[in-house]
Structure 1
Amino acid sequence: MAARARDIGAVRSEAAAHCARWGAPQVADTVALCVSELLTNVVVHVGEGVPATVGITWCGHDRVRLGVTDPDPRPLPALPAAAPDAESGRGLALIDVLALRWGVAEGAYAKTVWCEFATS
């Protein structure tokens, strides 16, 4: 997909629908929130309209994995310390709290920011 702010709502809905179809409705809202955070990071830090791939994988009976890939191997995401009055900068901190774990898979020409969620 082309990473565009106007399309993030539709991707959120589709991510939640996947979780519900897999019998994991308890994580649907969390996965939807995190996919919007990761896609917003692509739009803000890499650019509006760049190609991005969203993958949601059922990992056995106890986890759902979300990954968002963009074509820029840099900048690598990090957990910043947002100022109390900052209007942005808390997306990865939110993912850090909501996910079992998260990380970045680096490639020569792309990166994937991924996170996993418990379904039980």
Structure 2
Amino acid sequence: MKNTSALFIIDDVIANQLLELDDEYIGYQVLHEESFYKHLLDVQEFPVIDEYSNKESHKALLVIRSWQEVREILKEVQKEKNINAWKRLFPCQLYADGAYGEDTIIQNLSCAERLLIRAVQEQKYVMFYC
């Protein structure tokens, strides 16, 4: 799970526990703890985040979005016309590197779109980290 980019969490209590941790940087080992791991329903990767995480340290900055928030953002998003709305879904560090062109981001976000829509339909929390 070292390069995992997105995790669905069934229980919002678990999401709240993660948010309450004192350190904003959470190592990958946290995700392997029994208390968190047993609540994971699904694991998928976003290509953009996966590429970025391969270059970075073992720390992970956690961003938790509720399914309601993701649904609201999806309502106003057309990825080809409004890439800035898509960028709001992800940690800004992913787009600070000039190596990623808009076309590459749009292509990779097509994969993310399916993941986000499913999260909305199933009303699960989505965790993005890099």
TM over 0.5, yes or no?
no
The structure with the largest strand share of the pair is 1
- Structure with greater contact order relative to length (CA < 8 Å, sep ≥ 6): 2
The structure with the largest helix share of the pair is 2
- What TM-score does the superposition give when structure 2 sets the normalisation length? 0.35
